[in-house]
């Protein structure tokens, strides 16, 4: 019996270790979509890539999105700024970092001082257009919406909007963050193939428990003697 529980314990540890890692501290990222928590499926990734490619090709603005489970107790705006600095992002880059774990979402964003779009307008887009999608846990829609809205801002006549990122002190960028609670039970889900209804870690834990139950029943059935009465 002791050997049985040893095997079961090892199985659970392996399954938990295979789950996605938590965000950890800010770090260097590559590519324009980093999805540590695996909340965007293959179809959603394709839609996001097409949107950010259009933004870059038409307006020379590069959107970088980082989706993680949490910010490791670092304020969202600071996490985004430090990640942008470690990644060597420049004046044409915007980094959006989103913590998607648990029943809340949190986001932070960063642009350099020479960013070509008005910072106040970018903030307004995030607040009014993107934040509702994040609250509904529609991650793909949020990133596509942000890309399309940035294209619209870039197409606006020069001087439109309010304060520009170039107004920031020399050598600095603009960073901001927001934190909004979301009830997971009532949040809308994305279309099939775009997201996972559970986080990767949660799904693996459930699968691990199910596997443990099946393995326990199998091992116990083999331990019963041939003459044992059937319950």
Quick one: the chain helix, strand, coil %, rounded to 5? Answer: 45, 15, 35
Rounded Cα–Cα distance for residues 103 and 119 (Å) = 29
Q: Report the greatest alpha carbon distance in the chain.
A: 89
Where does the pLDDT of residue 152 fall: very low under 50, low under 70, confident under 90, or very high at 90 and above? Answer: very high
pTM over 0.75: no
**Is residue 110 within a helix (H) or strand (E), and if so which, with residue range?**
strand 104-112
pLDDT at 189: 34
Residue-wise pLDDT tens digits, 97-114: 999 987 789 999 999 999
Interaxial angle between packed helices 200-223 and 2-17, expressed in degrees from 0 to 180 and rounded to the nearest 10 = 160
Taking 80 as the threshold, does the pLDDT of residue 174 lie above it? Answer: no
User: What are the pLDDT digits (tens) for 175-191?
Assistant: 666 644 333 322 333 33
Percent of the chain with pLDDT strictly greater than 90: 50
CA-based Rg of the chain, rounded to a whole angstrom?
23
d(CA 188, CA 82): 31
pLDDT digits 0-9 by tens, 24-44:
789 899 899 999 889 999 999
Residue 129 in this model has a pLDDT that exceeds 70: yes
Residue 231 burial (10 A CB sphere; 0-12, 13-18, 19+): exposed
Residue 164 has pLDDT above 50, yes or no: no
Average pLDDT, the chain: 73
Say yes or no to pLDDT of 64 above 80.
yes
List, in order of start, the domains of the chain with CATH numbers: 1-20+201-231 (no CATH), 25-198 (3.10.310.50)
Locate 17 and state its tokens.
């270790």
**pLDDT category of residue 142 using cuts at 50, 70 and 90:** very high
pLDDT in the model for residue 139: 97
């Amino acid at each position: 019996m002791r050997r049985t529980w040893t095997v079961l314990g090892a199985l659970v540890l392996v399954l938990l270790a295979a789950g996605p890692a938590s965000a950890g501290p800010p770090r260097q990222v590559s590519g324009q979509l980093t999805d540590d928590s695996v909340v965007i499926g293959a179809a959603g990734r394709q839609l996001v890539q097409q949107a950010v490619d259009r933004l870059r090709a038409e307006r020379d603005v590069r959107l970088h999105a980082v989706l993680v489970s949490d910010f490791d107790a670092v304020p969202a705006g600071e996490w985004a700024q430090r990640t942008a600095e470690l990644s060597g992002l420049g004046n044409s880059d915007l980094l959006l970092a989103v913590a998607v774990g648990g029943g809340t979402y949190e986001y932070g964003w960063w642009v350099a001082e020479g960013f070509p779009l008005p910072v106040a307008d970018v903030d307004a887009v995030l607040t009014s257009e993107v934040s509702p999608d994040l609250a509904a846990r529609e991650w793909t829609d949020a990133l596509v919406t942000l890309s399309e809205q940035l294209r619209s801002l870039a197409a606006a006549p020069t001087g439109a909007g309010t304060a520009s990122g170039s107004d920031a002190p020399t050598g600095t960028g603009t960073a901001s963050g927001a934190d909004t609670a979301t009830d997971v039970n009532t949040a809308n889900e994305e279309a099939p193939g775009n997201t996972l209804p559970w986080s990767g870690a949660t799904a693996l834990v459930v699968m691990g428990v199910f596997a443990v139950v099946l393995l326990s029943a199998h091992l116990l059935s083999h331990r019963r003697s041939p003459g044992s009465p059937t319950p």
